[in-house]
Each structure stands twice: as structure tokens, then as C-alpha cells.
């Protein structure tokens, strides 16, 4: 039997850091990454045969769990028909119709291969449609690794951001303003200073890359008002929240709280691909008309609308729209976080939790944070002990303090009970 440590040593010789996406390297929590050999339902098994209750779910897509029969059957049939054609297919149209039927803010949608690609092109589309260059994003929101979006907050109020990655020249992000999440004062000031030049505001409505932080309703309402007043477009990045927190995605939750609310451009990923590389962005017919081949905003992709990925995504969406699906998933997720909270409280550990649909987060602090700066004050060492304590007991959480967690329809009450019991043991040693 090959061990995780042996595989990691081997991987580091041929792959930078031994991983193909940085968070998988366990650098934030320490220890050896688990090399997964297979998965089924709510479980994953590593190279050493250890089983884990999986709360990563491939970082969100596996809302049905691994290997759901309907999804597996659709993918197997699609594979028999052909891997890729480089030409249109009926299934692309079916998937687009399925997504649009659940998202009233979009009249047309373009399929791509990754969330990064979708977010990057949404920005390009907003700039092309408005004829403007500047954009606003919020610190702690991750929109993929496109150059213009790899920025951190500047040093003053409503300042332009600074690159957070080597290889991104400062002039590439000179048009990107980075503001504090949920900060109305900075938002007002940014529009006062730059309103006529702003192409768009991009936000994660529930930021899943600072664990789980909601955009407050008054904040979202004010962004919508300011965008309307100044002719900027409001971009909802729902790569993580899309069809994961509600059937109509996060925007449907804000529409319930803000009459008439809708974003101008929506970005989707993860769940719509069911675990395959697939993402999308959509908007009104007028705005989407700026895209090639109709307009002058260029975007293309060899594997866009891949027939196997669309089969996987279409089967997933058809399952999650079954009556009662999200109600049951929400109850299950809330039961998990409430149980973790009770276990922490019993041991006197400061702990706060939140969840929506099948997405959840927790913080080692007494109250839920509202922005990235507060999230950064979380006790990293305590989280690392908690992570490894659960991992040793067969529970796999994200190996980083700043990542949300995900529950699937395949998780059972017994899985959640086992997770809470494991947490209780770990907290007892704090």
C-alpha cells in the first residue's frame, strides 16, 4: 500500500508544492495532504484506505454526494456518445434552458469551463457594455485568479488595490478598487469619487473564501441603488452560492428581502457542473448581445459546453429541483452547525456558526464577523487543532481557516451525529 506521505513526496518532485491547487497542500494547517482514491455518497477514502465524512464536496459541486445514480448514468451515457466535438450540442441548449428557468435575472447564458473564466469574462463584458474601465471588488471575496481580480485593499479609503500575486503588474490592477465588505461608508465614497468611471461592482453575496460571511441586506440594496444611479453594472458572483444555498441561488434570497432586486450579471460554477469542469455567466439579452459573435466583446473556449460536463450538470440540476430538496438540505446543514455550536459551548470554546441551504461556516470567536479584517483575527492555532482532531476521527473539513463547508443530500443523520461527537471530543481537550 502506498501511503499519503509517499505520494506527497512523489508529487512534490513533479508538481509545484505537490498539488494542483494551493489549498490542497495543507500549508495553512500543517501535516500531510490526504490523497483521495475514491468517493461514494458522503464519504471519501484516501490512499491508505481511511474513510472520511466529506464536508468539502469538491469545494461545493457535490450537492447530491458522490456517485449519485442519476448523475453517474447521465455521464456514462454521454461518454459513450463522445468526449468533445468542438461543435454545438442539444444538451448545451438544455442546460442553458434549465439554468435560465431558475434564475429570472438572466435571459441568456454563456457556458465556459471554470469559475475563474466566467468571472473574468463577466468583468470584460461589463466593461464592454458600459465603455468604462474601473471596477469595485471587496476584500475577502475571491473571484478566481484573473490578474485584475488578484488584489488586496489599498492603504486608504476607496483606494485602488495592490497586486496579491507575483506576476501581476501594478498597472494591471490600477482600475480595480478594493473596499471593505459590508462597509457602507466606503461604498458611498467610492461612488462619489469614481461613479462616472465605474463599469461594475462585483461581489460574492455570501463570501465563501473568508469562511462564511453574508453581505448584509442594506449593503446589497445600496449597491443596487448606486449602480442604477451611476450607470454601473452589479455582478453577483455565485460560483459557490449558485444552486447551493437555494434553488434560485443567493440572488433569490436577496430578492425576497429587497423588492424587485436582481443583479445585472450573474456568474455560476460548481453545482451547475455537478463535479465536472463547467461554469457560466448570464445577463439580459441586451447585455449578452455585446458578446462575440454578436458583439465586440471576445470570449471563446475549446471545451466550453463540453458534452460530458453538460450531462453531469443537467442531471444534477434536475435532481435538486425536486420538491422539498432544499428544505431537507437546509435542515440537515443547520442541524450540523447547531450541534457543533452546542459542543463548543459545552467546553467553553468561543464559537459562532452560520449556514444557508447546503453551505456553512464557523468561527472561533463569539460573534459572526462581517468583513475580512475581523475574520483575520480568528484563532488560527485553535482552528488547526480542531481540523486535525476531526481529521484523525474521520471527518474531512476544508484544510484552511478561510473556507466554507458543504453538506450534501447524501449525508445522513448518523454522519452528522458522528461529526458532532468527534467535535465534542476535540473541544474537550481545548
Q: What residues act catalytically?
A: 142, 237, 270
How far is Cα 138 from Cα 125, in angstroms, rounded to an integer? 19
> Beta strand 108-112 with 176-179: parallel, antiparallel or unpaired?
unpaired
Residue 239 is placed in which grid cell? Answer: 460560483
- Count of C-beta atoms within a 10 Å radius of residue 362: 25
Collapse the DSSP code of 37 into the 3-class scheme (helix H, G, I; strand E, B; otherwise coil) and give the result: strand
Please name every residue paired with 160 in a beta bridge, in sequence order, or none if there are none.
177
Burial of 293 from C-beta contacts in 10 A (0-12 / 13-18 / 19+):
exposed
Neighbouring residues of 280: CB distance < 8 A, sequence distance ≥ 6: 96, 99, 109, 110, 111, 112, 118, 267, 268, 269, 272
Helices (H) and strands (E) in the chain, counts: 13, 18
Neighbouring residues of 315: CB distance < 8 A, sequence distance ≥ 6: 68, 70, 71, 73, 74, 75, 274
What's the Cα-to-Cα distance from 286 to each of 94, 97, 119, 268, rounded to whole Å? 21, 18, 19, 19
How far is Cα 360 from Cα 207, in angstroms, rounded to an integer? 11
Residue 264 is placed in which grid cell? Answer: 445585472
Amino acid at each position: 500500500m502506498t501511503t499519503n506521505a509517499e505520494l506527497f513526496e512523489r508529487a512534490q518532485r513533479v508538481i509545484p508544492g505537490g498539488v494542483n491547487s494551493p489549498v490542497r497542500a495543507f500549508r495553512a494547517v500543517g501535516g500531510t495532504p490526504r490523497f483521495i482514491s475514491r468517493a461514494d455518497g458522503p464519504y471519501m477514502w484516501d490512499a491508505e484506505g481511511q474513510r472520511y465524512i466529506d464536508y468539502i464536496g469538491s469545494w461545493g459541486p457535490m450537492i447530491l454526494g458522490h456517485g449519485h445514480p442519476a448523475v453517474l448514468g447521465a455521464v456514462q451515457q454521454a461518454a459513450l456518445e463522445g468526449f468533445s466535438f468542438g461543435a454545438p450540442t442539444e444538451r448545451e441548449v438544455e442546460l442553458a434552458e434549465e439554468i435560465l428557468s431558475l434564475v429570472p435575472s438572466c435571459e441568456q447564458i454563456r457556458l465556459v469551463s471554470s469559475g475563474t473564466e466566467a468571472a473574468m469574462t463577466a468583468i470584460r463584458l461589463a466593461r464592454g457594455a458600459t465603455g468604462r474601465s474601473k471596477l469595485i471588488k471587496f476584500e475577502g471575496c475571491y473571484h478566481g485568479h484573473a490578474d485584475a481580480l488578484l488584489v488586496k485593499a489599498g492603504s486608504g479609503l476607496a483606494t485602488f488595490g495592490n497586486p496579491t500575486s507575483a506576476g501581476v503588474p501594478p498597472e494591471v490592477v490600477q482600475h480595480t478598487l478594493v473596499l471593505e465588505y459590508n462597509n457602507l461608508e466606503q461604498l458611498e465614497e467610492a461612488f462619489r469619487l469614481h461613479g462616472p468611471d465605474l463599469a461594475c461592482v462585483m461581489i460574492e453575496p455570501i463570501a465563501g473564501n473568508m469562511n462564511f460571511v453574508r453581505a448584509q441586506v442594506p449593503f446589497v440594496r445600496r449597491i443596487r441603488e448606486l449602480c442604477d444611479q451611476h450607470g454601473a453594472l452589479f455582478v453577483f458572483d455565485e460560483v459557490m452560492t449558485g444552486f447551493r444555498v437555494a434553488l434560485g441561488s443567493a440572488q433569490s434570497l436577496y430578492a425576497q428581502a429587497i423588492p424587485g432586486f436582481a443583479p445585472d450579471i450573474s456568474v455560476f460554477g460548481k453545482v451547475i457542473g455537478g463535479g465536472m469542469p463547467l461554469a457560466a455567466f448570464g445577463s439580459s439579452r441586451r447585455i449578452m448581445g455585446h458578446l462575440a459573435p454578436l458583439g465586440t466583446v471576445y470570449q471563446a473556449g475549446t471545451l466550453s459546453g463540453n458534452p460530458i460536463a453538460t450531462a453531469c450538470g443537467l442531471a444534477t440540476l434536475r435532481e435538486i429541483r425536486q420538491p422539498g430538496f432544499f428544505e431537507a438540505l437546509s435542515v440537515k446543514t443547520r442541524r450540523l452547525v447547531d450541534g457543533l455550536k452546542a459542543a463548543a459551548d459545552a467546553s467553553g470554546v468561543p464559537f459562532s456558526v452560520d449556514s444557508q441551504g447546503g453551505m456553512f461556516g464557523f468561527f472561533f470567536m463569539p460573534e459572526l464577523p462581517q468583513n475580512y479584517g475581523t475574520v483575520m483575527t480568528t484563532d488560527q492555532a485553535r482552528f488547526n487543532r480542531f481540523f486535525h482532531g476531526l481529521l484523525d476521527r474521520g471527518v474531512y473539513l476544508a484544510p484552511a481557516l478561510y473556507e466554507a463547508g458543504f453538506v450534501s443530500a447524501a449525508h445522513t443523520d448518523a454522519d452528522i451525529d458522528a461529526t458532532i461527537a468527534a467535535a465534542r471530543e476535540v473541544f474537550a481537550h481545548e
